[in-house]
């Protein structure tokens, strides 16, 4: 049986932040539901050309991988460079869309997504998030402050919060009242 071809990325008009967030949300639905993580989707776009550079979702790659991490690792693999050299070849006009604010701490010991973003130097200029990270696993996420302190703009794309949280928390135990 042959492997299915990846579905094409829909054409999204430059500046259509909700469109890119919807794409990220559709990616999040591919992540397996688990009680120990959020299902997150991420899209990296070259804002100068409106080209999607990479997409990712939680647990897409082997290991306990997050969506933003998958984008970065897939780009490094595509360009046959290590993560530390990826910044050398990327355009400096990248916009990142992620359904949930990038993590500032990993309980697994992996590098937090905010640190992976910052390791790309000044390549990522803006991060659009669908919701701030809930306090379920790590409270007081400091990603927004870290990104803004590094000169990266962070914007909330409102209107999809309920859909994002429904997808993100699939597989989590619900508290009965």
Active site includes 18? no
pLDDT of residue 154 exceeding 50, the answer is yes
Please check whether residue 8 lies inside any domain of the structure.
no
Please check whether residue 162 lies inside any domain of the structure.
yes
Cα–Cα distance for residue pair 42/98, rounded to 1 Å: 4
Note the pLDDT of residue 140: 66
Instruction: Outline where DSSP puts E strands in 111-169.
Output: 124-131, 153-156
Measured from the Cβ of residue 146, the count of other Cβ atoms closer than 10 Å reads 18
* pLDDT digit string, tens, across residues 82-130: 877 899 999 999 999 999 999 988 877 789 999 999 999 889 999 999 9
Q: Cα separations (Å) of 112 from 20, 115, 175?
A: 23, 5, 28
Note the pLDDT of residue 10: 74
The 3-state DSSP composition of the chain as helix, strand, coil percent (nearest 5) reads: 30, 20, 55
- List the catalytic residue out of 60, 68, 73, 133: 68
Note the pLDDT of residue 142: 83
Q: What is the extent of the structural domain holding 103? A: 17-137+147-166
| CATH number of the domain to which 66 belongs | 3.40.140.10
pLDDT of residue 54 exceeding 70, the answer is yes
Please check whether residue 133 lies inside any domain of the structure.
yes
pLDDT of residue 1 exceeding 50, the answer is no
pLDDT of residue 4 exceeding 50, the answer is no
Note the pLDDT of residue 134: 66
- This prediction has a pTM of 0.90
Total structural domains in the chain?
A: 1
């Amino acid at each position: 049986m042959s492997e299915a071809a990846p579905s094409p990325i829909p054409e999204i008009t430059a500046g259509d932040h909700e469109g890119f967030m919807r794409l990220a949300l559709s990616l999040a639905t591919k992540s397996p539901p688990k009680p120990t993580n959020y299902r997150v989707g991420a899209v990296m776009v070259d804002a100068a050309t409106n080209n999607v550079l990479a997409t990712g979702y939680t647990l897409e790659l082997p290991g306990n991988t997050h969506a933003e991490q998958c984008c970065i690792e897939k780009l490094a693999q595509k360009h046959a460079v290590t993560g530390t050299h990826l910044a050398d070849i990327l355009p400096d006009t990248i916009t990142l869309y992620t359904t949930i604010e990038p993590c500032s701490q990993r309980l697994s010991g992996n590098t937090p997504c905010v640190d992976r973003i910052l390791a790309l130097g000044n390549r990522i200029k803006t991060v659009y998030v669908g919701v701030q990270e809930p306090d379920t696993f790590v409270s007081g996420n400091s990603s927004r402050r870290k990104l803004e302190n590094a000169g990266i703009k962070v914007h909330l794309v409102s209107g999809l919060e309920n859909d994002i949280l429904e997808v993100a928390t699939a597989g989590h135990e619900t508290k009965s009242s």
